[in-house]
């Protein structure tokens, strides 16, 4: 079939998906594919979730969109719910449309408040699709934490280290992606992150936690930064909070929200604070709480990790890294990775593949039986290369 939709440089994986349910996508022949990538980390409660669908239907029948100068009950209720799980009582919540936008708006607010110019992030983080974030040639400082590998005491990072001394004084915000590292699941040392935060804050800069992938339960806690014992000024939330619907959030802590009252920030985008997105956010939070999906992500994440570890042979599967249901597998080389990937697709399993790695980020509803099925399929695919 000739496709006229534009695929922006990504290879088409499976043509003509016609329906979905839970962990599965189905093609027109009725073949099911277990989606271990959650539709690029979005469908955290599974595809076609009946409770979320009902919320969408009800909300569209009352108030889907009003404009950014109108308030309503669901916006307030949803904002309170997400601020509460983030522990940001008396903070503020801005509903937006994509993870990229939540990062971009947090940056704009930080720059507006601090009058500083330079954005700081770790060299391997992914922050979004906009040129303001992808083009790091001007007004960005990328801290290469690979250099910390030479440090023998990673958990006792020293403020006098040369890597830290190079951080510019005029940083407006440090955007920290807690452990995804562009999906390759690498965890910067806690003491390094605490020291970066100290330096940035001492110079008047803000801290943004990029929770677009790590947030909403994926790592076995509500937010990935909670593994780091830090308190961000802004939290950018996306992907899983909409279960496939494009809603994202910029959360603002209380002191920063007060600063924004003193120095008002202006942002015009037609779909900010849409009631439909807010209703979905509220529904997703309720669903996660009702079904204990945070602890499910922690326990089934451990199980999946352990079973994947049993496949590590250092010949084909080199390494497994993970936290909760956010896992990366390093494979010998690109060629074998692509072959195993295609074989898994044939068997009805979708994983994320990039370079010589797989990214495994299944919906938080995954069960032990489904994990076992995938492990068996991967074991068989891997054995083709012995
Ligand atoms: C860590 C991280 N931040 C931000 C984004 C951007 O989110 P979106 O694609 O919703 O704009 C992504 C998307 O993959 C991401 O992985």
- Give me the mean pLDDT over the 356-384 stretch: 97
Q: Which percentage of the chain shows pLDDT scores above 70? A: 99
- Give me the mean pLDDT over the 318-332 stretch: 98
Ligand 1 centroid–CA 154 distance in Å is: 28
pLDDT at position 280 is 98
Please work out whether the CB of residue 213 comes within 6 Å of at least one atom of ligand 1. Answer: yes
Give the separation between CA 89 and CA 97, rounded to whole angstroms.
Answer: 23
Check: CB of residue 169 under 8 Å from CB of residue 133: no
Residues 212-233 pLDDT 10s: 999 999 999 999 999 999 999 9
**DSSP assignment letter at 47:** B
Sheet holding 17-21, edge to edge: 17-21, 24-27, 32-35, 349-350
More confident residue, 155 or 267: 267
The model's pTM is 0.97
* Protein residue with least CA distance to atom 13, ligand 1: 128
Give the separation between CA 1 and CA 15, rounded to whole angstroms.
Answer: 9
Structure tokens of 286? 């309720």
State the pairing for strand pair 32-35/349-350. parallel
Give the separation between CA 378 and CA 380, rounded to whole angstroms.
Answer: 5
pLDDT at position 5 is 84
Ligand 1 centroid–CA 167 distance in Å is: 25
Continuous segment of H or E residues that includes residue 317: strand 317-323
pLDDT at position 208 is 98
pLDDT at position 1 is 57
pLDDT at position 8 is 85
pLDDT at position 349 is 98
Please work out whether the CB of residue 127 comes within 6 Å of at least one atom of ligand 1. Answer: yes
Between the alpha carbon of residue 29 and those of residues 14, 25, 32, 270, 368, the distances in Å are: 12, 12, 9, 40, 27
Ligand 1 centroid–CA 102 distance in Å is: 9
**For the chain, what is the total number of helices (H) and then of strands (E)?**
12, 15
Q: Provide the 3-class DSSP secondary structure of residue 159.
A: coil
pLDDT over 80 (residue 386): no
Report residue 32: phi and psi, to 5°.
Answer: -95, 145
Continuous segment of H or E residues that includes residue 129: none
Ligand 1 centroid–CA 310 distance in Å is: 31
* Protein residue with least CA distance to atom 10, ligand 1: 99
Check: CB of residue 171 under 8 Å from CB of residue 143: no
Structure tokens of 186? 């690498």
Ligand 1 centroid–CA 128 distance in Å is: 5
Q: Which atom of ligand 1 is nearest to the CA of 98?
A: 10
Structure tokens of 318? 């080199």
pLDDT at position 121 is 98
pLDDT at position 180 is 81
pLDDT at position 149 is 78
Residues 138-176 pLDDT 10s: 999 999 999 887 888 888 999 999 999 999 999 999 999
- Give me the mean pLDDT over the 108-119 stretch: 97
Check: CB of residue 345 under 8 Å from CB of residue 278: no
- Give me the mean pLDDT over the 120-139 stretch: 94
pLDDT at position 62 is 97
- Structural domains of the chain, ranges and CATH numbers in brackets: 17-48+292-383 (3.90.1150.10), 51-290 (3.40.640.10)
Least confident of 22-36, 124-138, 148-162, 260-274: 148-162
Structure tokens of 185? 């699941």
Residues 47-96 pLDDT 10s: 999 999 999 999 999 999 999 889 999 999 999 999 999 999 999 999 99
Query: In angstroms, what is the C-alpha Rg of the chain?
Result: 21
Residues 1-24 pLDDT 10s: 577 888 888 888 888 999 999 999
Structure tokens of 106? 């947090």
- Give me the mean pLDDT over the 178-201 stretch: 94
Which residues make Cβ contacts (< 8 Å) with residue 364, sequence separation at least 6? 44, 45, 217, 218, 240, 288, 293, 294, 296, 297, 325
Check: CB of residue 268 under 8 Å from CB of residue 103: no
Continuous segment of H or E residues that includes residue 184: none
The pLDDT mean for the chain works out to 96
Q: How far from the centroid of its chain's Cα atoms is residue 110's Cα?
A: 21
Between the alpha carbon of residue 323 and those of residues 40, 156, 176, 314, 348, the distances in Å are: 17, 22, 16, 21, 25
pLDDT at position 193 is 97
Q: Which atom of ligand 1 is nearest to the CA of 238?
A: 10
């Amino acid at each position: 079939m000739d496709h006229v939709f534009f695929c922006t440089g990504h290879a088409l994986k499976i043509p003509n998906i016609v329906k979905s349910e839970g962990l599965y996508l189905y093609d027109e022949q009725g073949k099911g594919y277990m989606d271990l990538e959650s539709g690029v980390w979005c469908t955290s409660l599974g595809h076609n979730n009946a409770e979320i669908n009902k919320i969408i239907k009800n909300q569209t029948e009352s108030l889907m969109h009003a404009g950014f100068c109108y308030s309503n009950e669901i916006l307030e209720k949803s904002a309170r719910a997400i601020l509460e799980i983030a522990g940001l009582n008396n903070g503020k919540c801005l509903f937006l449309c994509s993870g990229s936008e939540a990062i971009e708006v947090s940056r704009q607010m930080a720059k507006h408040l601090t009058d500083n110019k330079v954005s700081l992030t770790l060299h391997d983080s992914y922050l979004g699709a906009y040129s303001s974030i992808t083009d790091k040639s001007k007004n960005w400082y990328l801290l290469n934490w690979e250099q910390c590998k030479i440090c023998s005491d990673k958990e006792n990072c020293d403020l006098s280290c040369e890597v830290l001394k190079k951080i510019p004084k005029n940083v407006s915000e440090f955007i920290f992606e807690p452990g995804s590292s562009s999906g390759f699941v690498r965890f910067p040392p806690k003491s390094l992150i605490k020291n970066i935060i100290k330096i940035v804050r001492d110079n008047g800069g803000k801290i943004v936690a990029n929770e677009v992938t790590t947030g909403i339960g994926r790592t076995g806690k509500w937010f990935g930064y909670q593994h780091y014992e830090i308190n961000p000024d802004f939290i950018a939330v996306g992907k899983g909070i909409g279960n496939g619907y494009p809603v994202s959030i910029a959360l603002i802590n209380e002191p920063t929200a007060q600063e924004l009252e003193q120095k008002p920030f202006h942002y015009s985008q037609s779909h900010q604070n849409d009631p439909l997105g807010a209703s979905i956010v509220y529904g997703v939070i309720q669903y996660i709480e009702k079904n204990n999906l945070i602890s499910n992500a922690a326990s089934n994440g451990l199980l999946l990790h352990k079973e994947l570890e049993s496949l590590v042979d250092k010949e084909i599967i080199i390494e497994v890294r993970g936290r909760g249901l956010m896992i990366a597998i390093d494979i010998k080389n690109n060629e074998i990775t692509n072959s195993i990937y295609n074989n898994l697709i044939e068997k009805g399993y979708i994983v994320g593949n990039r370079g010589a790695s797989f990214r495994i980020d299944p919906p938080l509803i995954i069960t032990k039986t489904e994990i076992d099925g995938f492990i068996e399929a991967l074991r068989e695919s891997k054995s083709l290369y012995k």
